[in-house]
Amino acid sequence: MIKQIKSAFYSFVFLTVVTGAAYPLLVTFSARIFFPEKAGGSIIIKNGKAVGSSLIGQNFEAPEYFWGRLSATAGSPYNPSCSSGSNLGPANVLLKQRTLSRVKAFMDFDAGNKKDLPVDLATASASGLDPHISVAGALYQAKRIASFRQIPEDKVIGMIKKHTAGRFLGIIGEPSVNVLELNLDLDDYKKEV
């Protein structure tokens, strides 16, 4: 029996070292070598300062900015330490209130907009941290952005096209727009004019 306990202990130590230390270190170092930007969190730097990550959404509520998807994270919007969906079912009153509140916010700032509000602008993503919106979601907001920033709408649409990412491998998912990168580009355009 002692022989079996020794064998089990040695197997435990070996597997702990391999799966708990060696493999994670190998993956971490490989990622840093082959994908340094992504392994570092895809941090966006402007004027020497980190302004966010291209992988985590940020809360934009000012009317002159594009708004991203709702965040369902606890504590504060887009809290990366609490990434999760809301787990609210379609019949839940709180989910309905959140959705209607968001729709009302868009209607208040886009009163003249007769387009249907894209569903991604009124709902949260599964992680609550999604930094992207649909192209339709960005185009829906273009007129409001142009009006508040007093720039031509075609310039705003051009920026949307510039920041539109295609489908993964050309077939998976839908084209999307990174909200933070688009808003930073808008701020840079204002400075150029």
- What pLDDT, in 10s, does the model give residues 67-96? 888 777 766 677 777 676 667 777 878 778
Calpha distance 73→77 (Å, rounded): 6
- Please give the residue range of the domain that contains residue 36: 1-40
Same domain, 34 and 80: no
Q: Per-residue confidence at 193, pLDDT binned at 50, 70, 90?
A: low
User: Does residue 61 contact residue 115 with C-beta atoms inside 8 Å?
Assistant: no
Which of these ranges, 15-29, 40-54, 111-125, has the smallest mean pLDDT?
Answer: 40-54
Residue 192: per-residue pLDDT: 56
Same domain, 151 and 166: yes
Mean pLDDT of 18-28: 90
User: Does residue 167 contact residue 174 with C-beta atoms inside 8 Å?
Assistant: yes
Same domain, 92 and 131: yes
**What percent of the chain is predicted at pLDDT more than 90?**
16
Same domain, 81 and 121: yes
Alpha carbon 154 to its chain's center: 25
Q: Per-residue confidence at 11, pLDDT binned at 50, 70, 90?
A: very high
Closest CA relative to residue 68, chosen from 17, 114, 122, 105: 122
Residue 42: per-residue pLDDT: 74
Residue 188: per-residue pLDDT: 84
Q: Per-residue confidence at 19, pLDDT binned at 50, 70, 90?
A: very high
Mean pLDDT of 142-160: 90
The count of domains in the chain is 2
Same domain, 96 and 71: yes
Same domain, 67 and 130: yes
Same domain, 118 and 170: yes
Residue 45: per-residue pLDDT: 74
Same domain, 31 and 85: no
60 has a pLDDT exceeding 70:
yes
Q: Per-residue confidence at 190, pLDDT binned at 50, 70, 90?
A: low
Residue 85: per-residue pLDDT: 67
Calpha distance 124→37 (Å, rounded): 26
Closest CA relative to residue 103, chosen from 93, 118, 82, 90: 118
SS (H, E, C) the chain: CHHHHHHHHHHHHHHHHHHHHHHHHHHHHHHHHHCHHHHCCCEEEECCEEEEECCCCCCCCCCCCCCCCECCCCCCCCCHHHCCCCCCCCCCHHHHHHHHHHHHHHHHHCCCCCCCCCHHHCCECCCCCCCEEEHHHHHHHHHHHHHHHCCCHHHHHHHHHHCEECCECCCECCCEEEHHHHHHHHHHHHHHC
Same domain, 51 and 33: no
Same domain, 36 and 59: no
Alpha carbon 25 to its chain's center: 27
**Over the Cα atoms of the chain, what is R_g?**
22
pTM of the model: 0.74
Same domain, 13 and 108: no
55 has a pLDDT exceeding 80:
no
Same domain, 60 and 4: no
Mean pLDDT of 163-177: 85
Q: Per-residue confidence at 157, pLDDT binned at 50, 70, 90?
A: very high
